[in-house]
Amino acid sequence: MSSNLTEQTLTAAVQRTFDDSTDPRFGEVLQCLVEHLHAFAREVRLTGEEWFAAMDFVERVGKASTPTRQEVVLLSDILGLSMLLDKINQHTGSSATDSALLGPFYVEGRPTADNGSDISAGVSGTPMFVTGRVVDERGQPVAGARVDTWHSDGKGYYDVQQTEQLHDQFAMRALLTTDHDGRFWYRSITPRYYPVPTDGPCGEILRAANRSPMRPQHVHFWFTAEGYQPLITQLFWRDDPYIGRDAVFADQDSLMADFVRHEPGIAPDGATVDEPFVTLDWTFTLAAE
């Protein structure tokens, strides 16, 4: 017997096919996805031509993706879905530092560094001295926390985007560990705003929408410590011209920091610096597990 489905009855029929899913959560998510996908197609009266163009786009996003070129992640980022998930999964009422996107430039295998190290690996730029403290929600220091940090150079490029100059060497990234007082500190160079990659399918979306691809100046951090929830976040230079229009929507008020400019003189680590330099100081709060 044919099922004689109509525009009105088709959605429920598809949803029912997930009633006996082995994993109830899978069934719930897929039924909701079908509901909203169908509603979306009805609402915009999606044409066959438009859907073929969309499927071709998704295929190209997949084909453009490699371990070092994460076009699928970038699509999630520019559509605001990555930040929405951050917000949905963040514990409300907690004093923990807000999270922000991991982004595509975190890489495994980065070097470990001692506190006080220069992690720039010789890349030239305005010196930046970062001092940080990791505390729990009661303000007590978290000793032995692992602190991954990474950022761009003064032209807005990460080490992985300029392998020819760096000969595959890591730069402006390291894994540090907090001391007994929850402190960590390092020297590097000052990053700059930069565009998200626009030479792939996601660039087509930004251009079609007349959207800026720029991300304001920021430094990435990823904290892990036993007994605490991991924290992936970024600190932004509050005076950056692109604040308020970050292409990936991560530039929230709570993460605005002062990248303070100094004339030549004594740096926070006691070193004498004979050129202007920048300092960044921040206390990060981790939520208990």
187 binds, among ligand BEZ, Fe ion, none (CB under 5 to 8 A by kind): none
Among 65, 78, 103, 185, interactor with Fe ion by CB under 5 A: 103
Strand intervals (E) in the chain: 127-135, 146-151, 173-177, 183-189, 194-195, 214-215, 218-224, 231-237, 256-257, 260-262, 265-266, 272-273, 277-285
What would the two tokens of residue 122 be? Answer: 């010789």
Mutual angle of helices 201-208 and 71-78, in 10-degree steps: 20
Among 145, 248, 280, 286, interactor with ligand BEZ by CB under 6 A: 248
**Is 74 one of the binding residues for ligand BEZ (CB under 6 A)?**
yes
104 binds, among ligand BEZ, Fe ion, none (CB under 5 to 8 A by kind): ligand BEZ
**Is 105 one of the binding residues for ligand BEZ (CB under 6 A)?**
yes
Q: Which amino acid is at 146?
A: R
**Piece in contact with ligand BEZ (CB under 6 A), picked from 32-40, 57-65, 103-111, 237-245:** 103-111
Give every CB contact of residue 100 below 8 A, 6+ residues apart in sequence. Answer: 83, 86, 232, 233, 234, 250, 252, 255
Among 65, 178, 215, 235, interactor with ligand BEZ by CB under 6 A: 215
Cα 135 to chain centroid distance, Å, stands at: 22
Binding mask 182-201 for ligand BEZ (x = CB under 6 A): --------------x-----
236 binds, among Fe ion, ligand BEZ, none (CB under 5 to 8 A by kind): none
Task: Give residues in contact with Fe ion (CB under 5 A).
Answer: 103
